[in-house]
Amino acid sequence: MNLKVRCLFGILLLSSPIVGAQTIDQQVQRAYFDLLTRQWQSEQEVKDRLQQLSPDLFPEYQQIIELPTDEALLPWTYFLAGIERSEGGKELAVLCKEARKATLMLRRFHHVRLADPFSQAVVDTSQAVRRLQFFAIQEGDKVAEIGFGYGYILGLLALVYQDVEVYANELDQYRLRAMQKVMAEEFTRDRSANFHFLAGHPRSTNLEGRELDLIIMENVFHHIGEQAVFLQSMLKSLHEEGTVIVIEEFLGSGRDEGNCPDRMDRAVLENLFSEAGFTLLKAQELDGQYRTMLRFARKEEGHLQE
Ligand SMILES: C[S@@+](CC[C@H](N)C(=O)[O-])C[C@H]1O[C@@H](n2cnc3c(N)ncnc32)[C@H](O)[C@@H]1O
C-alpha cells in the first residue's frame, strides 16, 4: 500500500466518531495512524521548505534520517547548524527536528511491534501489547513508573497516549539522564511534554500526594530493600481508586539460567502487599518471558478475579 493511501486510510479512521471508551487495540491503532499522518504531513512541509532553499537539502535530510541515531548525531548537528544560518532558518530547523522525531517514533512503533508495518491496522499479540492491555490505561490518567531502567515501558506510553501524565522515576542517575535525553531527542514535543522525570529513593516513590491512577514496577520490587516501608509510600502516592502493577519473575518460573539471584517467592510478595493494605485484583502470565503481571488495589476496593 503506498503512503498516500495509508495516510488517507489513517485520516478516515481518525475522523470516524469514537463511541465510548476505546479498547487498547483501538488506542494503539489510532495512535499509529495519527503518527503516520503527522509524519507524512511534516515531511511534506519540510521537503517544500528545504527545496525552496536548495535542491540538495532534502536528499541530504533523507540520508541523515536513514542513519542509526548514534551515527546521525554529527551530520544532523551540522545539517541543523547550516539551516539555522539561512533566512528564517531557526523556524525551519524546528520543523526539521519535529519531522525527524515523527519518523523515529514511527520506526519505534514497528520496532516494538505495536503495529505491523505491512498490514498497518493489525496489532499483534507481542509482549508490548499484552502489557498495554493489562495496564488498561485511559487518556487523562496519571501514571508512574518506578525504576524504568532503559525506558521500554515509558516508550510504549509515549507512543500510544497523547494525554497521559507520566512520572518517570529511577534510582540510577545515569539511566535517568539517558532516558530524559532519548525522550527529548526522539519523541515529538506533544509526547515528551507529558513526561516528568524524577530521582528515585530507596524507601520512597518520591510521589506521595500525587493521587496517581496507576503505579507500574517491572522487575524492580525484588530490588527494594525495605519493601514494607516502600509499600506505605506507594499507598500515599495513589488516588483512592488507584492501582499498582508489579511485573516479576518469581522463584520457580521455570527459567534456570540468567535470572536474578534476588527473585522472590510469589506468595511472599502477595503476603507483603496484603499486610500493607492491598488486595490482588488480577494476575496474568507473560508467556515466553517467565514473568507474571499482578494488579493490586487498596483492600476495600478489590475482588480477586484470577
Ligand atoms: C532490573 S532493573 C529493571 C528495569 C526496568 N524496569 C526493566 O524491566 O527493564 C531494576 C531497576 O530498578 C531501579 N531501582 C531499584 N530500586 C529503586 C528504587 N527504590 N526507586 C527507583 N528505582 C529503583 C534500578 O536502578 C534499576 O534500573
Cα of 59 vs centre of ligand 1, distance in Å, is 42
Residue 101, pLDDT > 70, answer yes
Protein residue closest via CA to atom 1 of ligand 1: 219
Nearest residue (by CA) to ligand 1, atom 12, is 147
Q: Give the confidence band of 24 by pLDDT, cuts at 50, 70, 90.
A: confident
Here the cell at position 229 is: 516501608
Ramachandran sector of residue 194 (left: φ over 0; alpha: ψ -120 to 50; beta: rest): alpha
Domains of the chain: 3-111 (no CATH), 127-298 (3.40.50.150)
Residue 176 CA to ligand 1 centre (angstroms): 11
Ligand 1 binding pocket mutation candidate from 223, 234, 245 (most atoms within 8 A of CB): 223
- Least confident residue range of 9-18, 92-101, 116-125, 244-253: 9-18
Query: 294-303: per-residue pLDDT in tens?
Result: 999 999 754 4
> Of 171, 173, 249, 263, which is best to mutate to test ligand 1, by the most ligand atoms within 8 angstroms of its C-beta?
171
Report the distance separating Cα 143 and Cα 126, nearest Å: 22
Residue 3 has pLDDT above 70, yes or no: no
Read off the pLDDT of each residue in 40-57 and give the average, rounded to a whole number.
Answer: 96
Nearest C-alpha neighbor of 174 from the set 148, 154, 155, 193 = 148
Residue of the nearest CA to atom 13 in ligand 1? Answer: 147
Ligand 1, atom 11: closest residue by C-alpha: 147
Q: Look over the chain and give the mean of its residue pLDDT values, rounded to a whole number.
A: 89
pLDDT computed for residue 14 by the predictor: 46
Q: How far is the CA of 289 from the centre of ligand 1 (A)?
A: 18
Cα of 199 vs centre of ligand 1, distance in Å, is: 11
What is the β-pairing status of strands 278-286 and 195-199? unpaired
Atom number, ligand 1, closest to the C-alpha of residue 152: 9
Residues with CB under 6 A from ligand 1: 146-149, 152, 169-172, 175, 200, 202, 218-220, 223-224
pLDDT at 177: 98
Please indicate whether residue 302 or residue 178 has the higher confidence score (pLDDT). Answer: 178
pLDDT above 60 (res 157): yes
- Over residues 271-279, the mean pLDDT reads 98
The residue-averaged pLDDT of 21-34 equals 88
Residue 294 near residue 248, CB atoms below 8 Å: yes
- The pLDDT, as a whole number, for residue 20 is 52
Q: Whose CA is nearest to atom 23 of ligand 1?
A: 147
State the average pLDDT over residues 243-264: 87
* Rounded distance from Cα 272 to ligand 1 centre (Å): 19
Cβ-contact 183, 158 below 8 angstroms: yes
Sheet (strand 195-199) strand order: 195-199, 165-170, 142-146, 212-218, 238-248, 291-298, 278-286
Mean pLDDT value across residues 38-49: 97
- Which pLDDT does position 110 carry in this prediction? 87
